[in-house]
A and B are shown apart, each in its own frame.
Chain A
Amino acid sequence: GAGVSQSPRYKVAKRGQDVALRCDPISGHVSLFWYQQALGQGPEFLTYFQNEAQLDKSGLPSDRFFAERPEGSVSTLKIQRTQQEDSAVYLCASSLGGESYNEQFFGPGTRLTVL
C-alpha cells in the first residue's frame, strides 16, 4: 500500500511510562503532521514538519510531548511520563508540501490508552 502507515495501532501504557509512536508518510511527501483525537472529538493539531524541520509545535500540550523527523521521512511522537489525559487516538498525516496548501492524507492512527 502507498498510504500513510502508523505503528503500533494500539498501545496500552501504565501511567508514568514513556511511549513512542511511529509514522511512515507517503513516499515523497515533504510535510508531516501529528494530530490528537480524543474520544468523541475531532482531531486537534499537535505539530508540523517540513522535511526534517519542525516548523510548528504550537499544539503540543506539554513539554512531555516531543516529536522528531531526523531524516525528513519517518517521524516519531514521544510522550514521556504518560498521564490518563493523554489517552486518545494519535493521527499522522502527510502532504506534498510547498508554499500553498496541499491535501493531507491521514494514517489509521495509534490508539493510546493510559491506565
Chain B
Amino acid sequence: TQLLEQSPQFLSIQEGENLTVYCNSSSVFSSLQWYRQEPGEGPVLLVTVVTGGEVKKLKRLTFQFGDARKDSSLHITAAQPGDTGLYLCADIIQGAQKLVFGQGTRLTINP
C-alpha cells in the first residue's frame, strides 16, 4: 500500500516570507497532484505533474517533481494570508480512478 508523507505537518509564518513544503512517497508516483483545502470546503486542484524533474509555476507557487518521481515540493514566495489552508498531495491510482492523499500540511500565514 502506497504511503504519502507530507512535511511539515504544521507551518505558521508571517506574511511576506517564503516557504517550502514536501511530499514523499513510499513508491513511484503515477501522477502527482497538489490540492489546497480551506476550512469547510473540499480540496481544490492546484496542479498535476507527471514527468520526473518537472517544474510548474502558478503565480507565486512553484511545484517541483523529483527526478525519481518519488518526491515533490511546493514553494510559495512572499506568502499572503490568502495562502492559508491545508495543502494536500495525492497520487492518481491509474485504472482504479481513485486518489491516494497524504495527511497534509496545515499552513497559516499571519498578517
Contacts and interface: CB of A to CB of B under 8 A. Distances in A.
A42 B97 contact: no
Nearest to B31: A101
A108 B98 contact: no
Contact of B42 (A44, A101, A103, A109): A109
Given A43-B101, A56-B98, A95-B97, 18 more contacts: A31-B97, A33-B97, A40-B106, A42-B6, A42-B90, A42-B101, A42-B102, A43-B88, A44-B101, A91-B42, A91-B43, A93-B42, A101-B94, A101-B97, A103-B45, A104-B99, A106-B44, A109-B42
A46 to B, nearest CB: 9
Nearest to B97: A48
Which bracket fits the contact residues of B? 20 to 34
A4 B44 CA distance: 12
Given A101-B31, A106-B42, A106-B43, A41 B98 contact: no
Interface residues of A, number: 24
B107 to A, nearest CB: 14
Interface string A23-44: 0000000010101000011111
A41 B43 contact: no
* Most B CB within 10 A of own CB, among A103, A106, A108: A106
B40 A56 contact: no
A106 to B, nearest CB: 3
A66 interface: no
27 contacts: A33-B97, A33-B99, A35-B99, A40-B103, A40-B104, A42-B6, A42-B88, A42-B90, A42-B103, A43-B99, A44-B101, A45-B99, A45-B100, A48-B96, A48-B98, A55-B97, A56-B97, A59-B98, A93-B42, A101-B94, A103-B45, A104-B99, A106-B43, A108-B41, A108-B42, A109-B40, A109-B41
A43 to B, nearest CB: 5
Contacts of B61: none
A84 B45 CA distance: 31
Interface string B65-104: 0000000000000000000000010101010111111111
